Structure 1
Amino acid sequence: MGEFDLIARYFERPVRRNPLGVGDDCALLQPAPGMQLAVSTDLLVEGRHFLSTVDPRRLGHKALAVNLSDLAACGAQPLAFTLSLALPRVDEAWLAGFAEGLFALADVHACELVGGDTTGGPLAINITVFGEVPAGQALLRSGARAGDDVWVSGTLGDARLALEAFRGTVSLPQEVFEAARRRLELPQPRVALGCALRGVASAAIDLSDGLAGDLGHVLRRSGVGASLPLALAPQLLAATAAGLQLDAQRVEEFVFAGGDDYELAFTAPASRREAVLDAARSAGTPVTRIGGIEAAPGLRLLDARGQAVVRKFAGFDHFRTSPAHDAG
């Protein structure tokens, strides 16, 4: 099967937003009047972000989900995406599964494939996603202010729990493992919540590399600090909230430095708490208030007495962290 036959069989679909379809040199996108384009790109490499044993349907879902999560963090509505694939060989069963998972999520968010590229080589997946947001209303990392609350959506640390189960460092009941594995391999981008938070949240980021590291980006861009209680960790990890017994320090590590959560961390003025909860209800996404923004720079983690404690929670770094961070 040649390159163009591969594209035609697995990735060519009718499109509305790009009048040229997928057969020209460029896609042409026009945002609606009064809207800005939001653009993000992510690269997934076999052995670095996923193992060769992952179900291709789940891999197709995740490849798009991690990009949609970036749009969610900006409060942008998805429009379209491009896909570039490097393939070591043409495996038709793999391609069919990958395309099925990819387009199932794309259809949920009315996000169209409008172009891309294929080549031979080690398996790698690159997606660039385009969204739109009302001009001047994008959620940014730079808007947090002293006195704001810090919130997170969903639960944190479950993907890292699954990864550690794959590595053999924790033993989990099968039901707990399968639930955690779904969080690792099938993250759900919080697009509806991001859009609902426009005009409510002061800053936002998606949690791809761990709460401590990612929230640190917001603090630095905003020129502020934050305090978070460590005692919240067990209730933020779904498995321990459901009764699984784990070492307390490991729970803290999973929650604050686990990565691959693809939830939203965001800040909002304390006066907007009801508005935040209304946004969460409208999006069908639970949120938890986990701390507060302060003028003094830096992230402070507090013990049960409210005293700052030293914990080294480094965010994921592709050039410092061991491979298969996202493996599943």
Structure 2
Amino acid sequence: MASLRGVSRTARALPLSQLTRPAAPACVQQRRSNASAAAAAASPELQELEVNSTLSTPDLSPEEKAQFRPWKRAKDRQLNLPGSRYQYHPPKFTRGPLHPIQAPPASDPIARDFVPGPFNNPRLKQTYRSTISSDLMTLTYNHVIPGTPDREPAERLRTWEGDSPYFKNRPKRAPRGAPQLMVREKDITFRNIPELAEISVASYVPDCKDNPDMLLVARMALLAITGAIPEVTKNKTDVQGFGMRKGVRSGVKVTIYGHQAYEFLDRCLNIVFPRIKEWPGIKGSTGDSAGNLAFGLRPEDLALFPEIQGNYDMYPAKMIPGARVFIKTTATSDRQARLLMQAMGMPFYGSLKD
């Protein structure tokens, strides 16, 4: 009776013979399983399954192959197939913040500029975030006493001088020697620490006018070392001395961003540069005074990339071209860009140009 106290009141009202029922013998259970298996085998859904492998299926006859023409069925179709759901197309142009139709952010998968990823975390980028960024900010620290008023920047554009009344509200004169003013160097703070923005690799192949295969080899080489599809460049002007005409294909170029740029620079610093014989480094006078640096690679240097060296027999002999590499950073001067590259491990030689 003590064991029945945990049972509900309704169950205790039933006789004990109805509460306990003997289990079925093993033979009965096996008979039930065989019956259920036979019923499942007899179901029409399972009868449609193919028993034989497709490897033993005979080939189609020429008549059956001739009847299979999906392109003709699509061509004869008068109306397009209905869409599975509402098709949203983001706008091609941004018409300002007040326009009723706004483009989705770049992180949205339906955006036109959406880039999937990231799928990895480059080692050089981890080093930049953990060590280089803080070191650059400490190295270039410029102390400003709190409360110091900002200095007015000097005017770099010239005004029109003369007695003409039209000079009063006329825009200032253009700078000398350049269509626009150069970028001013800004102090590095935690808001604008220089970092790698993009890398462009270009290869000029003037001999492709006689041998078009050299252009294909150059495109294969740039595709292998960067992982992005290069585009073919054309001559902008006529060069009579080299026999080049305007609009003729003469080279390839590719631009990589983000993790691809960090991985390419990492391979250059740790694999390619140490293997170049008697290589002094990057020339210290390189730069465009706006935080962008450049260097060149000879054909024998380009062959040192592991992507090319592993499949060197795939490229025709003496057809691997050289390349020019342009490193674009968020720095505002060549000095800051050079500090960033030196912290990453790039050597410079000669007189430095700030």
TM-score by length of 2: 0.21
Structure (1 or 2) with the greater strand fraction: 1
TM-score by length of 1: 0.22
